[in-house]
Structure 1
Amino acid sequence: MRRFTTLSIAAALMLSAAHGALAQDGPVRIGVLTDMSGQFSHEAGEGSVTAVRMAVEDFGGEVLGRKIDVLVSDHQNRPELAVSTAQEWYESGGVNLIANLINSGIALAVAGVAANHNGIAIVNGSGSSRITGDGCTPHSIHYAYDTYALAVGTARELSKQGHENWFFLTADYAFGHALEADASAIVTSLGGTVEGAIRYPIETTDHSSFMLQAMGSPADVVAIAGSGTTFINAVKSAGEFGLTSSGKTLAGLLVWLTDTHALGLEAAQGMILTNGFYWDRDDETREFSARFAERIGRPPHMGDAGDYSSTLHYLKAVEAAGTTDADAVMAKMREMPVNDFFAKGGIIREDGRMVHDMYVYQVKTPEESTGEWDVYKLVNVIPGEEAFRPLSESTCPLVNN
């Protein structure tokens, strides 16, 4: 028994040494953990994988003399599958960074795995502000947007227009709840009222009863707190029930470029939304977007652009730190500003929030559009320090308030 125990310990030590050597001398590995086939695949999936691979290629394909590999896995919107994949990647797969992480429940879970395995997780697909709140970790970054910023931009703009009474149609999952909570807080802080809310299952296709309740409420804004196909189906139902023609304003609290395209301008025109990126914003965004569209057949949205920008920022930090050690790389990522087509002067705070400007857009009418993807007109720019939750209100345990 003693001999067996000794051999087992020796084998374990050899495996640990081999893994350590792989971590320091083998390829630098980036895992894209995303929805490749489900209801959020149009907001992540192939676009997120393409963006990460473009960043690796543009960086040169290697860092610190080591090749950069990109691994891809479909989490199928199953938290248990995402967690087991992340554990395997960090423990034995030599993965240093896990990217995208669409689906807020999955993002929160994998951020915890990263913290326990000396890995890094960068969230671009998911939006729950809990990721930099009570769910923050020393090794996770929330990059492109969050529910607080979406609510600030859209609620402020509609308040300026005199729309103060809100009703929420909320998809019943973590992200929808966070959107509703953050938007409700912003609306009431601006002197508005929340007239009611309905939470509907994310697999719902028949929104008729929900729409009738929204139309019967005294609210002048009906806000849809959801994403992906749940959002698209809700907007289509609103059009079919004549919600906007009844005098109510429809607000999308998270509207992806792909959502607007799928809806068409006839259905989506006039909608107010907040976003972290638009392909036609300036010459730099147009240049990147043209290259991206050559590969995937459409312009990038803010998740794609965030995946590219954050991957490039990570690789620059690895180069500057001279190591893939998570603590050293995170320190460099916080130290170095983000200056690229996605953000100018972006900073990563101690809670993991990447602070950058956000943009309020209105969906164009069919007459205003000059092409298939010419869908937004700029309404307002929100400086980063105003767009995201101030640290003084943070619930992140890493922040000293």
Structure 2
Amino acid sequence: MREIGIYIHIPFCKKKCYYCDFNSYAGYEHLMEDYLKALLEEVKTYSDRSFRVISVYIGGGTPNFLPPSHVERVLSEVHKDYNVSRDAEITIEVNPGLLTEDKLKIYKINGINRISMGLQAFQNRLLEYIGRIHTAEDFLENYALVRKYFDNVNVDLIYALPTQSFEEWQETLTKVVELKPEHISTYSLILEENTLFGRLYKENRLPVVGEEEELKMYHWGIEFLKSKGYCHYEISNFALLGYQCRHNILYWECREYLGFGAGAHSYFEGTRWNNVERIEKYIEAILKRKDAREEIINLSFEDKMSEFMFLGLRMRKGVCEEEFRKRFGISMFERYEEIFIKYEKMGLIEKDKDCVRLTEKGIDVSNVIFEDFLP
């Protein structure tokens, strides 16, 4: 049976964070009902019980800003239209400050078995500075509630925030690890143009953390989390044994998934596409034309090999010859021999039997290495 993942995008937020470049909007609550109608219609579009869904990920935006009945209706539609595996990983992203026990109960009843909580930092001054709607105390209170119902929890963190000290990053990670979540994601701040922080940076009005300090934070985090039993299985992700995020691994292994909602991306039958981003345009496109796709790319053989390499190298296990040959019928060591030799000499890539992976030094310049695999 064909295995796929499903991503569901919820673009609503109570407030837009100052660093956020995701397809999310504040002040659009009046469109929630119409958005739900459109979302349910789109889910039906690809209905096929022959697909075995191994993961469902509800992201945003702020999914827990939706009335829980909306989440219930979406999941009900997914289960009706697709063959969701009994052991499927079903995740919902939540932001502290908007979580209640009633919402968690409904999530649990409807099959959600993994919670991803956006904390970002443990210092209230930083949370306010980056535009979060919650305090550290709100997070702790909500985390305790989550733990009453769920035994698979991720906590999202950001380092190299403007004005953030190395000691504050250490304190954040230390306090999070004390809570023993099964999974921790750590992302360096990226200053995107169409964000408040991006505009302030362009005007030289944002006190950014230097590159050397950023790398210091990253490497300290790796060593600290490893010492606490967390496996560093992808550039930005750490998990206790057996709790790696199955949905994200599906992306990194170039496996198929369908994305529903405004701005959602899909990869299916060798084709990538994304939906229109604006909420109103998405609703109109689905309800009038039954199709919200904006850009459709049919990947060439070279494209597929390229993506398989640079996405696979994000994972610490790297990319292995057996899987590459099985997919493409040729040897990756022959196809990418020059690139492997080049970066192995520089100490940025290492071989382990029939697999290649980035060294820790290689991770620091991973984007440069990935570019070499582009066709």
- TM-score (normalised: structure 2): 0.30
Q: Which has the larger radius of gyration?
A: 1
By relative contact order (CA 8 Å, sep 6+), the higher-ranking structure is 1
TM-score when normalising by structure 1: 0.29
